[in-house]
Amino acid sequence: MTLSPRPEDAPGLMLESGTRSLILQFPSGTDEAPEPVSIGAVIATEDGLPLESGTCDRQVRLTFWSDEARIYAHSGAPFEIWYGHPVGHGVVIRTIDDFE
């Protein structure tokens, strides 16, 4: 996952591990719903340290608010992180279903 660098004149974004107010947008990938799908999630880092603007290539654990995430958050699925506007992006590496 990567958080976008902040513009020079903008305050830095810091997401504490366990932040609950994140919205992730996934491409829908269907003709019936061509718009991206927004799903809420809790994001937690393995080391408990916060994510800051400009952070690159960090693995995190996402816990989704809705079971609907199983449809869109599959291995290899790209997503954008929204915090009022796009602030980062990532790719799902694996899901709980991958371990079963």
Mean pLDDT of the chain: 79
- Name which of 89, 1, 15 is nearest 50 in CA terms: 15
More confident residue, 65 or 29: 65
| DSSP codes of every residue in 14-37 | EE-TTEEEEEEEE---SSS--S-E
pTM: 0.77
pLDDT tens per residue across span 64-80: 988 888 888 888 999 98
